Structure 1
Amino acid sequence: MTEPIPPITLPPSQNPELEGEWLKQRLQGWLDAEFIPEAVNQNIAERAAQIFVRQRMEGENDLGSLVIAIVTEMQAFDFSKSFYGEFAIANAVSDLLLESLGIDKCCGQ
């Protein structure tokens, strides 16, 4: 039988605003590098960071719950001027956070 993947818990936030600024910069860099730099990438990164900061300020530390919150709330964002959607953004945020924790996101390791 396969074993469930254990949840990934972020350390409690000491400075959610600083985390949000880090995430905004990293996410915008990823967005710009993945396809082409677009003006809307800044808005996407800013909105995702706002959601992340609010969730962290409310005490959310579970990575899965953070990703679901970003997917859910980014559904209201107008992606019509972008190559991306809410799932791509939430997955990118997850990858960036895993990388920051030193967790290899490849192959379930």
Structure 2
Amino acid sequence: MPNIIPNVALPIADQPEQEGEWLRESLHKWLDEEFIPEAVNADIAQRASQIYVRQRIEGETDMITLVMALVTELENYDFSKSFFGNFTVANAVSALVMESIGIDSRCCGQSDGSLS
């Protein structure tokens, strides 16, 4: 029987805007470090942060739901000037958030390098 990855429930957001600012800065840094710094990375981080904050303000705590909201809403974002896409950004957000609450999101032999 395959191992099922348990879902992560985040605590209720007391300060979603502060979470969003942290996420925007962390994601922007991750995007710049993952390939090369690009001006579009700031815009991508800002857009992802806005989606995340809105979801958190609406009371969302389920990590899978947050990731799916990011994937869905970023489908309309123009990634043509970027190395990244909506799935990469959503997965990076998930990994950054999980790392921030002490959950190791690496899988199957990935390196132990930090996302932050």
Alignment of 1:36-75 (within 5 A): 36-75=36-75
Aligned length: 108
CA distance in 2, matches of 1:27, 1:5: 24
More helix, by proportion? 1
User: Counterpart of 1:106?
Assistant: 106
User: Counterpart of 2:112?
Assistant: none
Unaligned ranges ≥5, structure 1: none
Q: Could you report, residue by residue, the CA deviation over 1:78-107 in whole angstroms, capped at 9, with x for unpaired residues?
A: 101000000000000011011001111122
Q: Could you report, residue by residue, the CA deviation over 1:29-83 in whole angstroms, capped at 9, with x for unpaired residues?
A: 0000001100000000000000000000000000000000000000110101000
CA distance in 2, matches of 1:2, 1:89: 27
User: Counterpart of 2:82?
Assistant: 82
Unaligned ranges ≥5, structure 2: 109-116
CA distance in 2, matches of 1:4, 1:95: 18
Q: Does 1:17 align with 2:27?
A: no
For the aligned residue pairs, the C-alpha RMSD in angstroms reads 1.0
CA distance in 2, matches of 1:94, 1:85: 14
Q: Which runs of 4+ in 1 moved over 6 A?
A: none
CA offset at residue 2 of structure 1? 3.2
Q: TM-score under structure 1 normalisation?
A: 0.95
